[in-house]
Structure 1
Amino acid sequence: MKKPLEENGIHRAKLWEIGFYALNNTSTNIYMMLMSYISYYLIGIVGVGAVLAGSFVTIMRIWDGVTDPFVGYFVDKTNSKFGKNRPFIVIGQIILFASSFVLFNVTPSIPKAGRFPFFIAIYMIYIIGYTCQCVVTKSAQSCLTNDPKQRPIFAMFDSVYNILAMSMIIPVYISGTLIPKFNVTDKAGNVTLSAFYNPEMFHHLQLVFGGIAAVFAVLAIIGLWRKDRQEYFGTGETVKVGFKDYIDVLAHNRAIQMLVASASSDKLSNSMATNATIMITLFGVICGNYALYGSVSAITSIPICILSILGMGVIARNLGQKKALVIGTAGSIIFALGLFLLMYLGDPTSMKLPVVSGIMGVFKGSTWSLENWSLYGIIFMLLYILMRGFMNVAGSIVIPMTADCADYEVYRSGKYVPGLMGTLFSCVDKIISSLAATFVAVMFAAIGFKKELPVESTPYSDGIFWVTMACFIGAPLIGWIINLIAMKFYPLTKEKMEEIQEEIAAIKAKAMEQK
């Protein structure tokens, strides 16, 4: 066996390899962003009610969670010439593009009575592809690098990519370009068909998002190419694992237990806060101008990136990943409460921000002219940047923490099961977070939106305000409190991880001497 390139048991990745590999998560997140508007597609094109549309998303996320352990099992069993992880990126990406193309291009041609069953069947296939690619984001962490100071770098890249894509480029593109393009209006300029219910917008989104996701998947494969080999798997030896080993992990690996509890509650609350309908009601209804969503996303993204990088670079790399999650969570709570007080005590309709019609608009000197801003807008932006900055530190650091849990299992039992770690995490995470769309739909149904969800032209009401605040601020607060409780019992401190890597290095050295 070729001896791995390592120093005192620590093997590292090149910076560009980590940067390319992190794009795998961005690739699947782009599909997740595409599907965040699925409730509108189900209501407007497939023809189901608002509550059923929200419930469908929940049921399918549960199916998503059910597929995770099976895919993880196959990942742990795989050790091909093409590696353990890369085959699943390829399989997942092919299924994702093909199934999403069918969903948004074939479904409208199906007779109305058969659209929903057809949509369900294709969406279930889509989920299998999503699971195949998603598992690699977590399972390949431990073979890419086992340096405790290097693992947080993944979170730094991941945070930057997702902020730029999910919070900046895509929102600006959708709100500033696609909504005006695909809104159908009458001669007086009144919207007669919202873009969210226009099938043409979904055709366009699928092709653009699918193409970008495919490019990112290829780059992720290149990033993994050198390290996706057996000598970087656990102790470097082949260890057979079965379902009984999975049961043992579930029962005794305290680290993954607490990480799942923390991350799943955080994901549920964050999914509610960033739900497409909540963003529409927050900016389009409560603030009275949906274009503000694109402006907020574009202007805040770079400062949020900087805060996230500094937070993970200083805290996670020096104090450990557990400490980064705790500090990120505490900061999120403080600034979320400040944001709620601003929304409740102030006048959201007084928010005035520059209209940013494209990404380059952020860098125009006129954007930063004080005449384009209101005091309310400035305060909102400051609180929002600080809240999202701390949220990203806490949220992004979770993924490399699964690699710590995988190494802990090697240390604890000698079993290398990164697929289990990744899919166990994802399974519970998806099942719990799947409730987000249902909660949002049910809460809006309770105030009268039973047949369709609010759009940007829906009139303001107190009911909309409180439902929006419950999802945008209230749900995250509950998730963050659970985070702090779970981290009290999470055993993998910076010092413990150093001990674990030393022990694994000793096992490898002993195995090499016996060869």
Structure 2
Amino acid sequence: MRRLTWRVKLGFGAGDLGGNLFFTMSGFYLLFYLTDVAGMAAATAGTALMIGKIWDALSDPVTGYLSDRTPGRFGRRRPWIFAGSWLIWASLIMMFLPAPGRPFLWVVLAYCLVNTGYTFINIPYGALTPDLTDDFHERTLLNGYRMSFAVVGTFIGAVAILPLVHLFGGGAPGWVAMSVVIGGVIAASSLVVVVAVREEPLRKNVPQKNLLRSHLEVLRLKPFLLALIPWSLHIAGINILQGALLYYFRFIYQDEGAFQIAMPILLGSTMVWIPLWVRISGHIGKRSSYNLGMGIFAAAVLIFYVLGHKTGPGLAYLIMAVAGAGFATQYVMPFAILPDVVDYDYAENGIRREGVFYGQWTFMAKIGQALGIALNGWVLTLFGYRETLGGIVPEQPASALLGIRLIAGPLPALCFIAGIVILHFYPITRARHEEIQQKIARREKEAGGRG
């Protein structure tokens, strides 16, 4: 059992500030930027972002596979994180530069590069968790630190983007300047991990199987599938909801400033609840905590759909506070569950392939993101959404307002509920995890005896 120092916990946790800052900025603002600043049609913009996310998803398993095998004195994971920090900064600036020639192709290329940088950071970063500690609850605590920073990153991504754009003069130049600042923060938080964390040398029992076979094998593990599918469904629902909210406040409440109030309420509630869910999970388990939290989130989203448009932003603020209580579990529980699945695989098969698991994990999450982003663009176009042209904000038809409400209510809630149902069958409890650790100890003792 490995107890971690404060330095490691804080340094490791800081890495997810940048990851969630990027995730939130792209979820809340990229589609809006492309439709209402760059003037692209919603369906076209959504399709461009979907292509970038599919590329992102395809690169995840490759990066995970290679990071399991990266030799050198700096460890397996940290060289990837270092390289990704600089790539995401440069390509994020490219994303917001005026598109020369064909905007669609420019957006696709820039977004593919941005997501490659994100993959280089995120896959090896996540795969560090089972290397750092093998204790069941210590992993939950470690991810509590990580997700506290993640909420800070989400908070910055939700509330600082538009003020930064306005600070630098607004319009296209303001968005470029914003990308320089935000890209720098993302890079810096990732580099903190490189400095703070020390890795063990490359293990000898890394599997020597090819990439495709490795990923097919982990997909045959029932505990992994029962955690993976709910995670990807929840990510899809969150992306749908994120992409909808700014449109909702701008066109249904006609109060874009209220969005800047609602987001701190949502994320402030989330931050308060993260340590509470860590404690709750110590009593009722990770699976039950995750399902309870996402159930609260789904209920809040459905209430927002039914009542939100009939009232002013005041009720929305209250709903955001309740939603944040449930949303907090999405920050902690999935990343506390996955290392237990990695241990299960090692206990059963005698090999370590953290990068394969984390590559597959983020592959499915990004497929969910891709579908969520594209679905928003398609729904908006299908329901007659009118893009902003020449800085003139159009009046939206009733059908477009209904489309905005659908992507801010029933569609994400459906994803959350489906994930809850599937996760109910996830089998690794605290008692089962103790059995897994005992089996690992026996396996390593036998291997040591043979050595």
Counterpart position of 2:253 = 287
Aligned mate of 1:81, from 73, 77, 88: 73
Question: What is residue 165 of structure 2 aligned with on the other side?
Answer: 178
Contact 1:285 1:457 in 2 (8 A): no
Structure 2 residue corresponding to 1:481, chosen from 417, 428, 433: 417
1-structure distance, mates of 2:348, 2:57? 26
CA drift at 1:269: 0.9
Pick from 12, 15, 18 the counterpart of residue 9 of structure 2: 18
The equivalent position to 2:225 in structure 1, one of 232, 257, 260, is 257
User: How many equivalent pairs are there?
Assistant: 449
Are the aligned partners of 2:165 and 2:175 in contact in 1 as well (CA < 8 Å)?
no
Please tell me whether residue 229 in structure 1 is matched to residue 194 in structure 2: no
Letter in 2 for 1:310: L
Partner Cα separation in structure 2 for residue 402 and residue 339 of structure 1: 31
When normalised by structure 2's length, the TM-score is: 0.90
Counterparts of 1:330-345 in structure 2, within 5 Å, are: 330-344=295-309
Aligned to 1:368: none
- Ranges of 4+ aligned residues in structure 1 off by more than 6 Å: 44-47, 453-456
3-state SS, counterpart of residue 90 of structure 1: helix
State the match for 1:186 in structure 2: none
Deviates more, 1:453-462 or 1:321-330: 453-462
Matched, 1:71 2:63: yes
For 1:342 and 1:308, locate their aligned partners in 2 and report how far apart those are by CA, in whole Å.
Answer: 27
- Structure 2 vs 1, CA of residues 38 and 172 (structure 1 numbering), >3 Å: closer, same or farther? closer
Q: Distance in 2 between matches of 1:332 and 1:474?
A: 12
Alpha-carbon offset, residue 448 of structure 1: 1.9
Q: Is 1:59 aligned to residue 51 of structure 2?
A: yes
- What is the identity, as a one-letter code, of the residue corresponding to 1:438? A
Separation in 1, partners of 2:342, 2:14: 21
Alignment match of 1:310 (pick from 276, 281, 287) = 276
For residues 408 and 337 of structure 1, do their structure 2 counterparts lie closer, same or farther at Cα, with a shift above 3 Å needed? same
Of the structure 1 ranges 444-453 and 259-268, higher mean CA displacement relative to structure 2 is found in 444-453
Deviation of residue 116 (structure 1)? 4.0
Equivalents in 1 of 2:205, 2:429: separation in Å?
A: 26
Q: Distance in 1 between matches of 2:316 and 2:113?
A: 41
- Preserved contact between residue 64 and residue 124 of structure 2 (Cα < 8 Å): no
Superposition pairs of residues 89-488 of structure 1, within 5 angstroms: 89-105=81-97, 107-108=98-99, 110=100, 112-113=101-102, 115-167=103-155, 169-176=156-163, 178-179=165-166, 182-183=169-170, 198-225=171-198, 228-230=199-201, 237-243=205-211, 244-251=213-220, 253-275=221-243, 278-311=244-277, 313-344=278-309, 346-348=310-312, 351=313, 377=314, 379-449=315-385, 457-459=393-395, 461-488=397-424
Paired residue for 1:491? 427
CA gap of 1:302–1:449, structure 2 versus 1, over 3 A, is closer
Percent of aligned pairs sharing the same letter: 18
**Structure 2: which amino acid aligns with 1:248?**
E
Distance 1:287 1:268 in 2: 25
> SS of the residue aligned with 1:149?
helix
Amino acid at match of 1:200: P
Q: Distance in 2 between matches of 1:482 and 1:154?
A: 28
Q: Deviations over 1:277-297 (max 9, x none)?
A: x22222222122111111122
Amino acid at match of 2:254: G
Amino acid at match of 1:504: I
In the TM superposition, residue 464 of structure 1 has moved relative to its aligned partner by 3.7
> Is this contact kept in 2: 1:325–1:397, CA < 8 A?
yes
Query: Shift of residue 451 of structure 1?
Result: 5.2
Q: Tell me the distance in 2 between the aligned counterparts of 1:301 and 1:130.
A: 22
What's the CA shift for 1:98? 2.2
Contact 2:20 2:151 in 1 (8 A): no
Q: CA deviation at 1:394?
A: 3.4
CA offset digits 1:290-324 (Å, max 9, x no partner): 1111112234433331122201x222233332222
**Residue of structure 2 in register with 1:188 after alignment:** none
In structure 2, what is the Cα distance between the partners aligned to 1:166 and 1:58? 21
- Distance in 2 between residues matched to 1:509 and 1:462, nearest whole Å: 68
Q: Counterpart of 2:81 in structure 1: which amino acid?
A: I
Question: SS state of the match for residue 77, structure 1?
Answer: coil
Decide whether aligned partners of structure 1 residues 47 and 65 sit closer, same or farther in structure 2, where only a CA change above 3 A counts.
same
**Matched residues in 1 for 2:392 and 2:311: separation?**
18
The separation in 2 between residues aligned to 1:56 and 1:247, in whole angstroms, is: 29
Q: In the alignment, residue 422 of structure 1 is paired with which amino acid?
A: Y
Q: Which amino acid aligns with 1:211?
A: G
Q: Contact conserved, 2:150 with 2:331, CA < 8 A, in 1?
A: no
Deviation at 1:246, TM superposition (A): 3.1
Letter in 2 for 1:332: F
- Would you say the 8 A contact 1:272–1:475 is kept in 2? yes
- Unpaired runs of 5+ residues, structure 1, are 1-9, 184-197, 352-376
TM-score, normalising length: structure 1: 0.80
Secondary structure of the residue that 1:78 maps to in structure 2?
coil
Which AA in structure 2 matches 1:19? L
1-side partners of 2:355 and 2:234: how far apart? 22
Task: Tell whether the 8 Å contact from 2:207 to 2:353 is kept in structure 1 after alignment.
Answer: no
| Unaligned residue ranges in structure 2 (runs of 5+) | none
Check the 8 A contact 1:138/1:400 in 2, yes or no.
Answer: no
Distance 2:87 2:343 in 1: 31
Deviation, 1:456, is: 10
